[in-house]
Amino acid sequence: MSDRKADHDFVRTCKSVATRQSLYVEKLQNHPGAASLDLTQVGSGDEVRVRHLACSPTTCQRLREMGFCENALVTKIRGGADLVCWVCGTRVALSARLAKQILVEHVDGKS
């Protein structure tokens, strides 16, 4: 197989995975009783609970190692291109792309 064909196949596979992840996140957000927010949609200073990680298994594992486990409490400190959150007693910076894969709910009853 040529390098060019291999590169094309790799890009097509990545796009396919990204599309499936987007559809999965949308399905979760629209499901009754499911988390309706991702971490980018939360206001600064808000405390939220992680409901679901909608990403690849390796990314999920890394996020859990950083403290973003299901049911973990997270306080968003700052938003923007990178987000800064307080989780497990530590400030953690995340890209907005990664934060969109962390589905959350407010813990204080806000919507």
Residues 44-61 pLDDT 10s: 999 999 999 999 999 999
Compute the distance between CA of residue 81 and CA of residue 106 in angstroms, rounded to an integer: 22
Tens digit of each residue's pLDDT (9 = 90 or more) over 67-108: 999 999 999 999 988 999 999 999 999 999 999 999 999 987
CA nearest to 75, candidates 61, 65, 89? 89
The CATH architecture assigned to 3-106 reads Roll (2.30)
Question: What is the residue extent of each domain of the chain?
Answer: 3-106
Other beta carbons within 10 Å of 93: 12
The model's pTM is 0.68
